[in-house]
Every structure is written in structure tokens, then in C-alpha cells.
């Protein structure tokens, strides 16, 4: 795992020490001796992590962190405070400014490198999601608001710990803003993770009679739980376990004795990050839906139809199964637009699509082909079975007038052409052309009828 790390400290010796340690692990290192230079480098270059001193002349590390988190181009860059300050209040201040961790000098090599690797890995995932959700701004979502909004209230947290002192601190730190469930054993935890909709797991590495690290790995191995963050509770002497935990995907850790304010800040950070990635994933899913959906009718669009029909025909030809294609054209649709306006025409298209969706089977694909033309693809269906279905759909359109939003009642009919897969070698264009020829016959014969394509 490599990445570009920005090291910020006003003491050159400290900068050189961190630079040497990181370069030995093949990280690309940038350096700055003050906050102003750090902000400029972070804005100018794509960095994956900032190691930031707190006590600097001019702009303090707290202020640098706050400014980094406010700017869209750097808001998602992880920040680790590296400083001689060691009070709980200083840690909480750093985390509240948006820092992802707060390490006290002198920093052990193990903790530094495990933290860096973990956060760089997280940054790479975030970068990928951001790239795939490039249309984020166009749908009115500000990524800074997603990332910085507090997310404690209403979150569901599972705590696995059997030390009474830790449990008391955790109870007090989490308070009533979250829904926290406490269990003391690994079997109880594995049962609970499968039965709840969790936002965060807090797991002790020092469970009596069980391996907390193995429990973390078992949870990470469950597909639908992999994206739920894990915060581990560890003792000072558990560096080896801590390193292993961070290597296989544990998100964060806190060292006993627990500081309640620090714990709240770390929990908030993990919940905030989870909500952020969930929103990004949802936007990616929505972008895919938009790419294959016709915005007016909510049916699949021509792009999706072409891809789906081609693959379906190939599979059906190989298996020797029939596929029928129904091509619809709304009769005299142009006159609706000309006489009543395009708003009325849009209402007709929407209502026609609703009746079409209601009348087809779950395995069928209904799509807008273009303009007032629509297609229904029917797998495992020959012409003898498709024809009565097409006739029923035709009658459903004719049965009742289409009512526009302005109150107009318009009698609408539809012409339908049918074609069926003739065997191996027939592609999507060919079967559509045969359905189109049958549709032309239906229109030439007076419209409002179903015609099968010639064999």
C-alpha cells in the first residue's frame, strides 16, 4: 500500500525523521514547515494523508486541520495530529476539528505505520467512490455537508466488552444519543451482528475466553457487514494485535484507560464516515439507474434495451428457447401534441407506460424505444403465447380514456407488431426490424390492432 503523505512540522529534525520512516515503507512524501505552506501543497497536489504538528508559529495545526476539512478539494483527506501535547482535551480538540487521529510524540514506529496504512487504504476507497460519483454536484449534494454533519443521534452501536470499568465508561460516553446494545461474549456478538441493522461495532481485543481479533475477522468476513466500521478497544501492550487488526480492515482503535470525550469523538468520526460512504454509494446506484431509465416514463431506455435484448437473444438461442418482441406505436400521437400541446402528450406517454407496466409479467422487459414507440421483450414466450398478451395490452389501452393533468379525457389506441426469435444467428436489430415490419402492417390496416411478423 503506497500513497502520498504530507508531513507538516516547524521542526526540521521531526520532519526528516518522519520522512525517512515513511520513505522506507515506499510512501511518496511531501513536507512543509508551516501551516500556510501545508494548505498550499494540499490544495495543489493530490495527497492521501496529512501528518500535522499542532504547535506551530502562525497558523496552528488545529486551524490547518479545520481549514482542510472545510475545503471541498481536501475535505476527505485524512489528518493525523502528531504532537507533544498529550492531554485528553487536546486530543478532543483535534478530533473535533476533523482530525482522524491524534498521536503523541515520540510516536512508535508501529503505531505510526499501522495508522498511516489504514487511513491511506480508506482514502483510496473514498477516491474511487468520488470518481464514480462525479455527477454528485449536479444532483445538489454538497460532499462537505455529508462529511462534516454530526451523525451520533439515532445510530445503532453494538458493544462487545466484558470489563465492567470499560462498560461503565462506554455507557457514559455514548449516552442516550445512540441505541447501544452491550454483549460480553463472542457467540452473543455473532448472533447480534446478524439480527440488527448496525452502524458501528465497538469490540474489545481482550475478551475473557475469546480472541477479540478473531471476532473482528469473523465479522469482516460476512459480506453484508464488511462496510460497517469497527472500533477496537485495546490495552497499551497489545501492539501486535493492533497491527494485525488494522491490516485486515479494522477502522480505528482507542487505548485503555478510556477517555470518554475522546471515545465520543472517535465514534462520531466513524459514524460520519459511514454515512458519507453510504451516500456516495447511493449516488452511484442512482447514477446507474438514471443512465438506463427514461426520465419521462420511468421505463428502461433504448440503451438498456439494446444491451439486454442482445444478451437475452444469445442465451435463448443457445438454450433453444423462444423470445418474443412486441413493438408498440401510439396511434395518431402527433395530433395529440399538435392539438393539445406537449404537456398533454407527456401525460399520455406516462399513462401509457403505467398501463404497460401493469399488464406485463415480472420477467418481461418494458422499455421506451423512442418518441411514442415502446418495446416489450418476453423471454420463454413464443408467438402463440405472445399474441393474446399483446391483444390484452391493446384492449387495456383502448378500454378507458387517458386523463391529462389539465382534466382532458383523450381516447387513445395503440398498434402492435410481434416478432419471435427464429433461432441462432438472429441478432437484436433483425428481430426489431421484423417487429417493425409487422407494426407497419398494423398501421396500414387501420391501426388499433395486433399483427404477427411473417416467419
Query: What per-residue confidence (pLDDT) applies to 139?
Result: 47
- SS3 call for 279: helix
Q: Between the CA of residue 326 and those of 57, 250, 383, what are the distances in Å?
A: 74, 53, 10
Query: 28 and 73 in contact (C-beta within 8 Å)?
Result: no
Q: Which of 87, 253, 256, 91 is nearest to 165 (CA)?
A: 256
315 and 346 part of one domain = yes
171 and 190 part of one domain = yes
**Cα 245 from Cα 105, distance rounded (Å):** 23
165 and 275 part of one domain = yes
Mean pLDDT across the chain = 88
Q: Give the rounded percent of residues in the chain with a pLDDT score beyond 70.
A: 93
- How confident is the model over 126-167, as pLDDT tens digits? 776 666 555 445 545 454 454 445 456 788 999 999 999 889
Query: What per-residue confidence (pLDDT) applies to 455?
Result: 66
Query: What per-residue confidence (pLDDT) applies to 49?
Result: 95
Q: Where are the alpha helices (DSSP H) in 133-233?
A: 143-148, 164-174, 186-195, 212-220
Is residue 79's pLDDT more than 60? yes
Give the domain-ending residue among 247, 266, 288: 288
**Cα 384 from Cα 400, distance rounded (Å):** 27
87 and 163 part of one domain = no
Is residue 90's pLDDT more than 80? no
- Number of structural domains the chain divides into: 3
Cβ atoms within 10 A of the Cβ of 175, count?
11
pTM for the structure as a whole: 0.63
Whether residue 295 lies inside any domain: the answer is: no
Query: 77 and 50 in contact (C-beta within 8 Å)?
Result: yes
CA dihedral 215, 221, 227, 229 (to 10 degrees): 10
Query: What per-residue confidence (pLDDT) applies to 82?
Result: 85
Is residue 50's pLDDT more than 90? yes
- How confident is the model over 158-173, as pLDDT tens digits? 999 999 988 998 988 8
- Higher-confidence residue: 424 or 96? 96
Q: Bridge partners of 49?
A: 5
116 and 2 part of one domain = yes
Query: What per-residue confidence (pLDDT) applies to 132?
Result: 56
For residue 13, give the CATH number of its domain.
Answer: 3.40.50.2300
- How confident is the model over 247-287, as pLDDT tens digits? 788 888 888 888 887 788 788 878 877 887 787 777 777 77
Query: 247 and 114 in contact (C-beta within 8 Å)?
Result: yes
419 and 317 part of one domain = yes
What would the grid cell of residue 276 be?
A: 458519507
Residue given cell 404537456 in the structure block? 343
Query: What per-residue confidence (pLDDT) applies to 245?
Result: 85
Is residue 102's pLDDT more than 90? no
How confident is the model over 412-420, as a mean pLDDT? 97
Tell me whether residue 10 is exposed, middle or buried, using C-beta atoms within 10 angstroms of its C-beta: 0 to 12, 13 to 18, 19 or more: middle
Give the domain-ending residue among 61, 91, 123: 123
Q: Which of 54, 69, 51 is nearest to 116 (CA)?
A: 51
**Cα 251 from Cα 179, distance rounded (Å):** 20
Catalytic residue check, 238: no
Q: Between the CA of residue 65 and those of 62, 160, 192, 431, what are the distances in Å?
A: 5, 32, 37, 61
Indicate if the alpha-carbon torsion angle 377, 378, 382, 387 is positive or negative.
Answer: negative
Query: What per-residue confidence (pLDDT) applies to 86?
Result: 66
How confident is the model over 102-118, as a mean pLDDT? 81
117 and 237 part of one domain = no
Q: Bridge partners of 181?
A: 158
Cis check: omega of the bond before 257, within 30 degrees of 0? yes
Whether residue 338 lies inside any domain: the answer is: yes
Q: What are phi and psi of 397, to 5 degrees?
A: -70, -40
- Higher-confidence residue: 87 or 354? 354
User: Residue 116 sits in which domain range?
Assistant: 1-123
For residue 364, give the CATH number of its domain.
Answer: 3.30.70.270
Q: Between the CA of residue 224 and those of 44, 152, 198, 228, 248, what are the distances in Å?
A: 38, 22, 11, 8, 16
**Cα 125 from Cα 142, distance rounded (Å):** 19
**Cα 101 from Cα 439, distance rounded (Å):** 67
Whether residue 310 lies inside any domain: the answer is: yes
Which of 36, 73, 372, 373 is catalytic? The answer is 372
List the beta strands (DSSP E) in 219-282.
230-234, 252-255
Q: Between the CA of residue 62 and those of 141, 269, 337, what are the distances in Å?
A: 27, 16, 62
Tell me whether residue 423 is exposed, middle or buried, using C-beta atoms within 10 angstroms of its C-beta: 0 to 12, 13 to 18, 19 or more: exposed
Amino acid at each position: 500500500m503506497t500513497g502520498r503523505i504530507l508531513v507538516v512540522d516547524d521542526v526540521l529534525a521531526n520532519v526528516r525523521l518522519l520522512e525517512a520512516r515513511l520513505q522506507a515503507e515506499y510512501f511518496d512524501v511531501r513536507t512543509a514547515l508551516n501551516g500556510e505552506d501545508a494548505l498550499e501543497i494540499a490544495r495543489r497536489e493530490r495527497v492521501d494523508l496529512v501528518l500535522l504538528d499542532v504547535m506551530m508559529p502562525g497558523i496552528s495545526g488545529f486551524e490547518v486541520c479545520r481549514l482542510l476539512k472545510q475545503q471541498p478539494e481536501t475535505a476527505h483527506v485524512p489528518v493525523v495530529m502528531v504532537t507533544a501535547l498529550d492531554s485528553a482535551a487536546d486530543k478532543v480538540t483535534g478530533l473535533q476539528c476533523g482530525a482522524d487521529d491524534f498521536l503523541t510524540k515520540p510516536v512508535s514506529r508501529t503505531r505510526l505505520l499501522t495508522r498511516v496504512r489504514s487511513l491511506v487504504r480508506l482514502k483510496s476507497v473514498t477516491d474511487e467512490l468520488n470518481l464514480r460519483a462525479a455527477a454528485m454536484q449536479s444532483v445538489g449534494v454538497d460532499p462537505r455537508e455529508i462529511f462534516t454533519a454530526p451523525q451520533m443521534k439515532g445510530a445503532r452501536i453494538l458493544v462487545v466488552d466484558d470489563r465492567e470499568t470499560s462498560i461503565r465508561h462506554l455507557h457514559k460516553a455514548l449516552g442516550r444519543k445512540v441505541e447501544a446494545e452491550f454483549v460480553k461474549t463472542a457467540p452473543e456478538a455473532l448472533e447480534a451482528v446478524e439480527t440488527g441493522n448496525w452502524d458501528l461495532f465497538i469490540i474489545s481485543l481482550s475478551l475473557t475466553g475469546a480472541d477479540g481479533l478473531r471476532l473482528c475477522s469473523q465479522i469482516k468476513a460476512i459480506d453484508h457487514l464488511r462496510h460497517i466500521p469497527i472500533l477496537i478497544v485495546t490495552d497499551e501492550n497489545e501492539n501486535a494485535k493492533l497491527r494485525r487488526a488494522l491490516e485486515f480492515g479494522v477502522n480505528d482503535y482507542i487505548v485503555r484507560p478510556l477517555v470518554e470525550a475522546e471515545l465520543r469523538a472517535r465514534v462520531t468520526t466513524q459514524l460520519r464516515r459511514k454515512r458519507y460512504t453510504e451516500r456516495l454509494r447511493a449516488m452511484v446506484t442512482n447514477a446507474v439507474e438514471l443512465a438506463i431509465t427514461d426520465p419521462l416514463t420511468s421505463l428502461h431506455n433504448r440503451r438498456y434495451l439494446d444491451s439486454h435484448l442482445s444478451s437475452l437473444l444469445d442465451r435463448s438461442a443457445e438454450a433453444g428457447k423462444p423470445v418474443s418482441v412486441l413493438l408498440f406505436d401510439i396511434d395518431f400521437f402527433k395530433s395529440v401534441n399538435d392539438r393539445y400541446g406537449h404537456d398533454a402528450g407527456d401525460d399520455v406517454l406516462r399513462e401509457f407506460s403505467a398501463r404497460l407496466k401493469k399488464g406485463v409479467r415480472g420477467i418481461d422487459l418494458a422499455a421506451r424505444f423512442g418518441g411514442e414507440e415502446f418495446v416489450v421483450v418476453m423471454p420463454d414466450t413464443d408467438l402463440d403465447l405472445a399474441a393474446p398478451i399483446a391483444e390484452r395490452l391493446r384492449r387495456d389501452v383502448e378500454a378507458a380514456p387517458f386523463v391529462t393533468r389539465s382534466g382532458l379525457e383523450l381516447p387513445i389506441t395503440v398498434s402492435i407488431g410481434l416478432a419471435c426469435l427464429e433461432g441462432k444467428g438472429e441478432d437484436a436489430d433483425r428481430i426489431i426490424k421484423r417487429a417493425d415490419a409487422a407494426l407497419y402492417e398494423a398501421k396500414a390496416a387501420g391501426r388499433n390492432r395486433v399483427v404477427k411478423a411473417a416467419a
